[in-house]
Amino acid sequence: MARDEKLKERWEVLVNKLSNQFAEGDDLDLDGIIYLIGVQELGQIHRKFKKDEKLDLMHIAICRLLEPYGYYEFEFYDDDGWPHYKVNEQLPSLKAGEQSVLMKEAIVNYFLTSSYIQ
């Protein structure tokens, strides 16, 4: 099976599984899944977040997702338990579709590594 087909198949399985678990069956979009990863990475699952904290959660997720690609590196947790990353390499200029594919691939790999999907 071609790499892109396998990614598409795994993405659909992941979206269905996460949507059923967290969105009462409504399909989560890319941003929603990134937000969930941010909450997971922060580890403060049962609290309400302010609007700016939600953006910070998405940033945490993006850093964590792109860390295996060498773009970010974990540095430390601050006193409130928030992870901080440093930029190792600037992301290349990508078209919107290419950005989406990169993020979907990174998300699928994240959930494959945690054995949430196969």
Q: What is the mean pLDDT of residues 98-114?
A: 95
Q: Which one has a higher pLDDT value, 2 or 98?
A: 98
Tell me: pLDDT of 25 over 80: no
Q: How many residues does the chain have?
A: 118
Going from N- to C-terminal start, the domains of the chain cover: 3-113
Confidence (pTM): 0.91
Q: How far is CA 34 from CA 2, 15, 47, 107, in A?
A: 25, 12, 17, 8
Q: What is the mean pLDDT of residues 25-30?
A: 89
Q: What is the mean pLDDT of residues 37-44?
A: 94
pLDDT in tens, 70-101: 999 999 999 999 999 999 999 889 898 899 99
Q: What's residue 52's pLDDT? A: 93
pLDDT in tens, 41-69: 999 888 899 999 999 999 999 999 999 99
Would you give the end-to-end CA distance of the chain in angstroms? 15
Q: What's residue 1's pLDDT? A: 55
